[in-house]
Structure 1
Amino acid sequence: MVGKANTNSNAVISLTLGILSILIPVVGLVLGVIGFVLSRKAIKEIEKTNEDGRGLATSGLVCSSVGIIIQIFAVIGFIAYYSLTTVG
């Protein structure tokens, strides 16, 4: 009987944080960075230990990257909006 490989827990956490980084304003920037780091760590662990979850880690990397980009644009937008409204 062949045992099934376990799913890497960092991969699951990185995907969760990546999704939350897209959905939660401002705090999502921090969550995206943490998710990005965890997904890179998960990919390296998966290569060494032969665990499952490479797709989850890759999805977490993509979602975290998208979340970081969205949050950066949101922060820049807030700064631009409030700097323009206080000038006039």
Structure 2
Amino acid sequence: MSEKTKTNSSSVVSLTMGILSILIPFLGLLLGVFGVFASRKATKEIEATREDGRGLAISGLICSSVGIVMQLFVVLGYIAFFSLTTVNVG
């Protein structure tokens, strides 16, 4: 018989934060950072306790990283847009 193992809850949190970091503007930057920390925590817990969820933790890390990069581009785009509009007005 195969033994059912528990899925690590931090890995689920990291994937959720990673997906939300892609979808929610501005707040997604903060969610992405939290997702990276949750992913690293989940990976360490999974190695120590032999729980399931390693794939979720890795997916959470990837989604969080993509979300952070996307949100940085959005923030830099807003900064560039508003800096250029204020220069041309005067």
Shorter-chain TM-score tier = over 0.9
How high is the TM-score relative to the length of structure 1?
0.97
Q: Give the aligned residue type for 2:15.
A: L
Query: In the alignment, which residue of structure 2 is the partner of 1:53?
Result: 53
Give the TM-score normalised by structure 2. 0.95
Please name the residue that 1:9 is paired with.
9
Corresponding residue for residue 86 of structure 1: 86
Unaligned ranges ≥5, structure 1: none
* Aligned residue in 2 for 1:35: 35
Could you say which structure has the larger radius of gyration? 2
Shift of 1:2: 4.7
**1:68 alignment partner, SS class:** helix
Give me the identity figure in percent: 67
Look up the equivalent residue of 1:47 and give its one-letter code: E
1:64 Cα deviation (Å)? 0.1
Once the 2 structures are TM-superposed, how far is the Cα of residue 20 of structure 1 from its aligned partner? 0.4
2:15 is equivalent to residue 19 of structure 1 = no
The count of corresponding residues between Structure 1 and Structure 2 is: 88
Superposition misfits of 4+ residues, deviation over 2 angstroms: none
